Amino acid sequence: MLRALTGLLLFQLAGEVLARLLGLAVPGPVVGMALLLAVLALRRGPGAELRGTAQGLLQHLSLLFVPAGTGVLVHAHRVAEDWLPLTVALVLSTAIGLGVTAVVLKLLVAPTADRGDST
Amino acid sequence: MNDSVAAIWVYLAESPLLGLTLTLVCYQLACTVHARLGGHPAANPVLLSVAMLAAILLATDTPYPVYFEGAQFVHFLLGPATVALAIPLYAQFGRLRALAGPLLLALVAGSLAAALSAVVLGALLGGDHELLMSLAPKSVTTPIAMGVAEKLGGLPSLTAVLVIATGILGAVGARYVFRCLRIEDDAIRGFAIGLAAHGIGTARAFQVSEQAGAFAALAMGLNGLFTAVALPLLLPWLVRLLGA
């Protein structure tokens, strides 16, 4: 686990450095994810240790959003003041984003979509 | 007696231990409630945890920055967790590559639909410029959204809250949207939920299946990249059009 965690941090660090060096608008961890994916493709897959650690981290992915979410306290005033545009915009735009993505994808992959559920 | 309790409180309130422990305890309580309710998406663990923590912080008059001193250790793990998404992505690499064209088109359509509809709706209901610019990147993962909001002239910390709210809404509401539109393929469902509801949607998709999770992780990453590039180019134009 220690080795796998160190590896993940090294990729994040590399992503962070690369993003800054090249002046990318993309955050370091996302660049790190792309780098790790490239290495996995070259080495034909992760080892058991890395797979286990990644699974452990991702199993509780929701937990990692809790501290930022609690920041709602700082903006309670603003949220209360603008509740109508915020609520309507968030609810409808989320539904629209989900719907448009799913429908476009369904139309484009219709012939192969049946294979998906059986795997 | 009361004095020593007060002394212990003063000590604990200043140390990161309390914020960190509280976060973990509340999250596990939320997960227990979520499981008791049969995993119903409306009992979203992030929503329940945030509600509990907010109530506790308000009741004890604890400022958010003091809480975050401890909670930052959990927050920090978002970075390595994002990197770790490469592993489920790799597992689905074959299918992802076969669908590259459709996925990219769905990305552009869905990403623009989510961001632009939020700005237009917000503007129609009287949101000011700062609010609209904080709203625009709400579908992408927190660190990217905050960076984009700053570039656009929004409030990054408000964006973080809107991002979490969007994630919860997507995780809770996706099943109803999919049912209305008769979307049954796990890959399509995963991609849509990762695109519209980033990491919280992705966490939800992993509960459905490994395949849904991998497609959600891909959509989240792609939408992060696309939004970071596209929104700063497109939004000034939209803002002029709306006169906002």
Segment B156-185 shows an average pLDDT of 93
Which has the closest alpha carbon to B166: B104, B209, B210, B227?
B227
The amino acid occupying position B34 is H
- B5 vs A: CB within 8 A: no
d(CA B31, CA B48): 9
d(CA B111, CA A96): 10
CB B90 to CB A40 under 8 A? Answer: yes
For residues B25 and B90, the model is more confident at B25
Share of chain B above pLDDT 70, in %: 99
Q: Quickly state the pLDDT bin for A11 (edges 50, 70, 90).
A: very high
The angle at the Cα of B72, spanning B173 to B155, to the nearest 5 degrees, equals: 60
Residue with tokens 């660049």: A31
Share of chain A above pLDDT 90, in %: 57
CB A71 to CB B181 under 8 A? Answer: no
Q: Is the dihedral of CA B97, B101, B104, B109 positive or negative?
A: negative
Pair of tokens at residue B66: 């003091």
The predicted structure's pLDDT at residue A91: 96
Q: Poorest-confidence range of B1-5, B64-68, B214-218?
A: B1-5
- Is the Cβ–Cβ distance between B197 and B174 less than 8 Å? yes
What single-letter DSSP state applies at residue A113? G
Cβ neighbour number for residue B132 with a 10 Å cutoff: 25
CB-defined contacts A:B, below 8 A: 326
The predicted structure's pLDDT at residue B4: 82
Pair of tokens at residue B176: 């109803």
pLDDT of A97 over the 90 cut: yes
- Is the Cβ–Cβ distance between B188 and B207 less than 8 Å? no
Buried b or exposed e, range A20-30, using 16+ CB within 10 angstroms:
eeeebbbbbbb
pLDDT digits (tens, 9 = 90+) for B175-192: 999 999 999 999 999 999
pLDDT of B78 over the 90 cut: no
Share of chain B above pLDDT 90, in %: 60
First CA to last CA distance, chain A = 29
The predicted structure's pLDDT at residue A110: 67
CB A105 to CB B125 under 8 A? Answer: no
The predicted structure's pLDDT at residue B110: 97
- A29 vs B: CB within 8 A: yes
pLDDT of A114 over the 70 cut: no
The predicted structure's pLDDT at residue A117: 46
Share of chain A above pLDDT 70, in %: 91
The residues near B80 (Cβ < 8 Å, ≥ 6 apart) are A5, A8, A9, A12, A29, A57
pLDDT of B1 over the 80 cut: no
Query: DSSP string of B24-89?
Result: HHHHHHHHHHHHHTTT-TTS-HHHHHHHHHHHHHHHTT--HHHHHHHHHHHHHTHHHHHHHTHHHH
The amino acid occupying position A9 is L
pLDDT of A115 over the 70 cut: no
- B227 vs A: CB within 8 A: no
Residues 74 through 93 of chain A touching chain B, CB cutoff 8 Å:
74-75, 78-79, 82, 84-86, 88-93
| Closest Cβ opposite residue A30 in set B77, B103, B221 | B221
HSE, CB side, 13 Å, CA atoms: give it for residue B22: 27
pLDDT digits (tens, 9 = 90+) for B95-145: 788 899 999 999 999 999 999 999 999 999 999 999 999 999 999 988 788
Query: DSSP string of B90-121?
Result: HHTHHHHHHTHHHHHHHHHHHHHHHHHHHHHH
CB A85 to CB B126 under 8 A? Answer: yes
pLDDT digits (tens, 9 = 90+) for B42-77: 888 999 999 999 999 999 999 999 999 999 999 999
User: Quick one: A37 exposed, middle or buried, by C-beta within 10 A (0-12, 13-18, 19+)?
Assistant: buried
Cβ-Cβ contacts under 8 Å, B58 against chain A: 73
Buried b or exposed e, range A64-77, using 16+ CB within 10 angstroms:
bbbbbbbbbbbbee
Domain extents for chain B? Answer: 2-77, 94-242
- A17 vs B: CB within 8 A: no
Query: DSSP string of A60-81?
Result: TGGGGGHHHHGGGGTTHHHHHH
| Closest Cβ opposite residue B225 in set A26, A41, A92 | A26
CB A59 to CB B167 under 8 A? Answer: no
Q: Poorest-confidence range of A103-107, B166-170, B222-226?
A: B222-226
Work out the minimum CA distance from A35 to partner chain B, whole angstroms: 9
- Say whether the ipTM exceeds 0.90: no
Substitution target in A65, A91, A107, A115 with the highest count of B β-carbons within 10 Å is: A65
pLDDT digits (tens, 9 = 90+) for A13-58: 999 999 889 987 677 888 898 899 999 999 888 889 999 999 898 8
d(CA B210, CA B232): 33
